[in-house]
Amino acid sequence: MSTANPEDTQYLAPPARRGTVRSAVESLQDALDRPLTAYYLLLGASGLLLLLGLIMVMSASSVYSYEQNDGDSYAVVLRQLMWVSIGLPCAWIASRMPQRAVRAVAPLAYVVSLLLLVATVFVGVRINGNQNWLAVGPVQIQPAEIAKLAMVLWAAHVYANKQRRLDGGLHHFVMPVVPGILLLTLPVLAGHDLGTALVFFAILVGLLWVVGAPARLFGFALIGVSVAAFALAGTSPERVTRLMNFTDPMNDFHQSGWQPAHGLFALATGGWFGEGIGASRQKWGQLPEAHTDFIFAVLGEELGLVGTLLVIGLFLTLAYAALRVARQTQDVFVRYVTFGVVVWILGQMVINIGMVLALLPVIGIPLPLVSYGGSALVPTLVGLGLVIGFARREPEAARALAQRRRRSTGLAAPGRRR
């Protein structure tokens, strides 16, 4: 009876492990290649971010809500639930809207957004130094958030109509989209909302890139926006201080560095797994805007590095699924809208997290789907609803859904006959 050589066993083990890894990779690739993968990834990532956002708004706003609402710790999260109950049906309707209806609404959405932004300049409400809110009865809305969705739809509609002429010269890329988005940006800048203006610029650059604009156009745009941004920042002593101190918040800890410094304290306290839901200490008056612009800091304190990476991973999953829809579709309008929504949501995520990590100045940008605020939440849900609708109407995905419905009906029918 022969005995196996231990060295032979050690030699055979690595190929077996490699085979297991190869099988796992192939299984993952097979799952990603399925027609409905993008659709389910968009639904799942959006739903998880929305649920996580509600949990964090409830936790981060509890102290603020108790102080501002006569001892009611849940007033803020209940308002957020109200906005979710409005946004989800709107997203469902958007996902079912025929493309011709979406394109018909796009020019009207642009005009309405422009009128609301102009009205904000004259009769808007000033909060935290920015006049970017508009009182509509008992509710205050932020028209710039609506304008983000409107500009994506309008620009995609215009470029889709001009698709065959985009090779005819630079002016076809510029007119009328670039002046139109600049026109939307002027009222925002008049209200001193530099952060939202930068998001508008990111959306414009993303749309120009996806339609194939020449590289020199990006160079001119980047130089122009950089000069304008620094010039506008220079008109506000508060912004100048923020720009000078954002890389080292401890340099002016008790003044301009207070908010970013306490955001870093919250993240550092969280460690790997966090202090637990509701256990944040920074939300007890130390961290301004804990449930809005700096909710990521509270999330890091309570859920730790694992929680923050989960949120970033969910946003990247959204981006992957949406870009897959944009890449596979043959419809240019669908491609442009999908890419515009990705740039909008992912750009805001990068700016917000960079702001909390003190990698960017504090410019008042909420974290999409997670921060408190109906003005930002509802348009974001509608934009995602449109992309989800595009994903489910892709030919292969539509066939897969139809086959699934037929199989479900076929299995149910014998049971009814019995």
Number of domains in the chain: 1
| Token pair recorded at residue 228 | 């304008």
The Cα 232–Cα 179 span in angstroms is 19
Quick check: is 82 in a domain?
yes
Quick check: is 273 in a domain?
yes
Tokens 């994506």 belong to 152
Quick check: is 150 in a domain?
yes
Residue 202: partners with Cβ closer than 8 Å, 6 or more residues away: 343, 344, 347
The Cα 16–Cα 120 span in angstroms is 66
Sign of the torsion angle spanned by Cα atoms 239, 65, 298, 382: negative
Predicted pLDDT at 254? 63
The Cα 212–Cα 231 span in angstroms is 30
Of 186, 127, 125, 180, nearest to 155 by C-alpha is 180
The DSSP bridge partners found for residue 131 are: 126
The amino acid present at 244, given as its one-letter code, is M
The Cα 35–Cα 398 span in angstroms is 9
Domain that residue 251 falls in: 38-392
Residue 276: partners with Cβ closer than 8 Å, 6 or more residues away: 302
pTM: 0.88
Continuous H helices in 235-331: 237-245, 258-270, 295-328
Predicted pLDDT at 182? 92
Quick check: is 130 in a domain?
yes
Contact 298, 280 (CB under 8 A): yes
Residue 95: partners with Cβ closer than 8 Å, 6 or more residues away: 385, 386, 388, 389, 392
The Cα 31–Cα 11 span in angstroms is 32
Quick check: is 33 in a domain?
no
> E strands, 53-208, where?
125-127, 130-136, 139-141
Residue 417: partners with Cβ closer than 8 Å, 6 or more residues away: none
Residue 249: partners with Cβ closer than 8 Å, 6 or more residues away: 256, 257, 258, 259, 260, 261, 264, 358
Quick check: is 10 in a domain?
no
The amino acid present at 310, given as its one-letter code, is L
Quick check: is 9 in a domain?
no
Rg (CA), the chain: 24
Quick check: is 403 in a domain?
no
List the chain pLDDT tens, one digit each, 418 residues. Answer: 445 454 444 444 466 566 777 777 767 777 777 888 999 999 999 999 999 999 999 999 999 999 888 888 999 999 999 999 999 999 999 999 999 999 999 999 999 999 999 999 988 888 777 788 888 777 888 999 999 999 999 999 999 998 877 776 778 888 899 999 999 999 998 888 888 888 998 899 999 999 888 877 777 777 776 776 666 665 666 666 666 666 667 666 666 667 888 888 889 999 899 999 988 998 897 888 889 999 999 999 999 999 999 999 999 999 999 999 999 999 999 999 999 999 999 999 999 999 999 888 888 889 999 999 999 999 999 999 999 999 999 888 888 888 888 887 765 444 444 3
